[in-house]
Structure 1
């Protein structure tokens, strides 16, 4: 789907007169195992999107492919009054990316207060917003806001349901991108909190583990000058480490081997940051040979191919 994070964090705070002055001032101061599985994957990338009204760039967690594969770890035995036959039917349609039909059926469901209806409505509205090539930005924003209020209002009654926390993290991240860089930074800890809660309730959810890994990686990977700028303007930022990111990526892979091309790629990239080039080459080679199911898989393959050459050059030294 287009979360968490999750909610996802490089803050390219550029083109702002205030930021440019701050940057000038700051810079002038001193300053081997294999996986075997029949399961196959998905994708989410931290990217940059332009806030045209402010002229700033800020991160978005693109999950447009991450929640549209069949092999996803959603509740296997829904605790719900809604029939399992109905839920399976809408889930099958969702896997086929028939999002408008899924939304129509869920909106027409009799018990829309049922938690299994709610989180699926949030999921499909998020996907309608992030997959559409025809909707206006305003229409996409309306869908994200609708999804956000659905899951936010459901939280008090369903605090013990992992999917509520997971989808709150996802849509909160997306909602914050509409509100600007400062809002995005202010929500980082809240987004991580809900991802952690989702994992506490469902430890084997590979997509949330991946999202947490991305959150940790992007926080750690932020260049020192961008961090100093952000700290000067927005107070203290959260911290993490590459080791923490690696822990989540490895656990996601352990739960569902090869579930997602980007998770394998991030294992390679994280090992590169840790200067473990042998392990980096191993996962980058795996990503390079990953079966392409969608455009984002192809992007992962292309990036891995470039990074693999770099890792191999280090190994030859």
Structure 2
């Protein structure tokens, strides 16, 4: 296995990171924090194929018995290059790594091994497997983020590529559409100061993004599993708010408020939804209906 260490940033750049307006960019993550990663929807990232071994691996995963997943995969070493086993191995390694302290060698080692398993899967007929691409996006974002911020931002286009492949290969995959919508949304939420820092201090060109693209995939996720996640409904409401479609923004935000939060992360989204609803009180929504319906009929071709 290749050895990787968390890169040490130059002293001048370390001092820049300490500035208050830079901190939010330094902890930037496309798919949320560790609390969100451990939530129920992340644990259920799996299809259930007919094969007995794959089914056993998925059941062990749902019970969080990730060490047993690795042991079962290792016992079937003669089939170790099968994409279906490799992405499940990577998934187990990801969750085992996520349980280690952030910045630790143990965490990075698990994630690097997961990335290598997925690379092997792509070389072993896995390019047509949506789960391989979905988990490559997750693991690649985590691996690059553990090294440093520059690596995470530079890896962003490849993360998007794998998520789009996952969505194209499996249009019914809620998680892939949710993550791709979140990817676009998080980039749109960066302010101009953060974008300048990324470009001139971190020397990284951010990929293009738009709220229309975020809306497209967040809406598809919502249609696949209505009200499944409070965060997805909130992102839809905030996306409509940001592009000035306040009538639809209130619709989604009211829906978010009606959902019962399941953890602290969702309680924070609930508070944000309530705050945005108060902002909407300033607008005359009766004049916004025509704009909303025109927006719905527009094409959402990606840039």
State the TM-score, normalizing by the size of structure 1. Answer: 0.73
Question: What does 1:174-189 correspond to in 2, within 5 Å?
Answer: 174-189=142-157
CA contact (8 A) 2:101 2:107 kept: no
CA contact (8 A) 1:48 1:59 kept: no
Unmatched segments (≥5 aa) in structure 1: 1-13, 24-46, 50-55, 79-83
CA RMSD of aligned residues (A): 3.0
Partner residue in 1 for 2:63: 96
Cα deviation, residue 133, structure 1: 6.3
State the TM-score, normalizing by the size of structure 2. Answer: 0.76
Query: What SS class does the counterpart of residue 251 from structure 1 fall into?
Result: helix
Cα deviation, residue 177, structure 1: 0.8
Aligned residues: 265
Matched, 1:126 2:75: no
Q: Cα distance 1:136–1:216, how it changes in 2: closer, same or farther (>3 A)?
A: closer
CA–CA distance in 2 between the matches of 1:86 and 1:19? 47
Q: 1:171 aligns with which of 128, 139, 159?
A: 139
Unmatched segments (≥5 aa) in structure 2: 1-11, 287-303
CA contact (8 A) 1:58 1:180 kept: no
Partner residue in 2 for 1:68: 43
CA–CA distance in 2 between the matches of 1:141 and 1:20? 24
Cα deviation, residue 295, structure 1: 4.0
Matched, 1:309 2:284: no
**Which has the higher relative contact order, 1 or 2, with Cα contacts under 8 A spaced 6 or more apart?**
1
Cα deviation 1:239-298 (Å, max 9, x = unaligned): 111111101100111122223222111111111211222222221222222234444333
CA–CA distance in 1 between the matches of 2:220 and 2:180? 11
Q: Indicate the structure with greater strand content.
A: 1
CA–CA distance in 2 between the matches of 1:315 and 1:99? 52
Question: What does 1:86-165 correspond to in 2, within 5 Å?
Answer: 86-110=53-77, 111-130=79-98, 132=99, 137-157=104-124, 158-165=126-133
Q: Cα distance 1:16–1:139, how it changes in 2: closer, same or farther (>3 A)?
A: closer
CA contact (8 A) 1:61 1:174 kept: no
CA–CA distance in 2 between the matches of 1:57 and 1:67? 20
CA contact (8 A) 2:81 2:120 kept: no
Cα deviation, residue 307, structure 1: 2.7
Cα deviation, residue 189, structure 1: 0.9
Cα deviation 1:185-224 (Å, max 9, x = unaligned): 2111111111111112112211111111111112222211
Cα deviation, residue 60, structure 1: 5.3
CA–CA distance in 2 between the matches of 1:258 and 1:109? 39
Query: What SS class does the counterpart of residue 59 from structure 1 fall into?
Result: coil
CA–CA distance in 1 between the matches of 2:221 and 2:30? 21
CA contact (8 A) 2:86 2:120 kept: no
